Structure 1
């Protein structure tokens, strides 16, 4: 399963996912130790090769901004042109959980 799979699941459930971009290289995945990062206006999805590294990412940015399940983490965009609607966060989390459970 990849970060693209998670974004595809968001699309399938009707969650906002505008302007998909692969930012694996430009987001500093080398420094973050992530294998992949796909961003849409509302969230960024990170794929890590190690669960401990994913958990470290959550610790670094805070559980109020990042949700993790296994190797995948969602970072919510709180500012900018398309800040996340806080009411949708549980749906993003549940969708990630479903993707990981199936994967």
Structure 2
């Protein structure tokens, strides 16, 4: 009987602790605090929040998820160095040389903090090869070392073959076209 009472009192204590934890206030809820992104926490009510602020102006709430804190300066996409071919011109040179470039996609926006975030200035991907243009040769060289044998670099342009079925013979043809461009 004593073990049963001890078990029940332990179970009751755990349940009460869980209940209190779930009902507790966040530090941002106290005294009108704000979240890390600068927004004030919304009050917990069962009614839907109004879509317009008093006076007819739209509520000043950010849309989407923030990518940076208020203390971080805004992200600026790197730019390619003067004289470096663009990723699209490299892909066009592959086409002109008779190389396959199926399913061309401009994925330059993925160079920033919401994408792969590797510091590239431009990225054009195909099913055969991805073309990365970096702001400088040092960054391109560092990334080429990370990708190893699945990459080829000429100047600030890197060809990446990761995840493709491009044969070693075909890779040499793509590499040769880039070598003539850069």
Shorter-chain TM range is 0.7 to 0.9
User: Within 1, Cα distance between the matches of 2:140 and 2:107?
Assistant: 17
Any stretches of 5+ residues in structure 2 without a counterpart? 1-84
Instruction: Compute the TM-score of the two structures, normalised by the length of structure 1.
Output: 0.86
SS at match of 1:54: helix
- Larger RCO (alpha carbons 8 Å, 6+ apart): 1
User: Within 2, Cα distance between the matches of 1:72 and 1:93?
Assistant: 11
> Computing the radius of gyration over CA atoms, which structure comes out larger, 1 or 2?
2
2:177 counterpart of 1:92: no
Query: How big is the shift at 1:85?
Result: 2.0
Runs of 4+ in 1 over 2 A off after TM superposition: none
User: Within 1, Cα distance between the matches of 2:172 and 2:145?
Assistant: 19
Deviation track 1:44-69 (CA, whole Å, cap 9, x = no partner) reads 0000011100001011111x100000
Any stretches of 5+ residues in structure 1 without a counterpart? none
Give the structure 2 partner of residue 44 of structure 1.
130
User: Equivalent of 1:13, from 97, 101, 108?
Assistant: 97
Alignment: residue pair count: 94
SS at match of 1:6: helix
Give the structure 1 partner of residue 107 of structure 2.
23
Query: How big is the shift at 1:77?
Result: 3.7
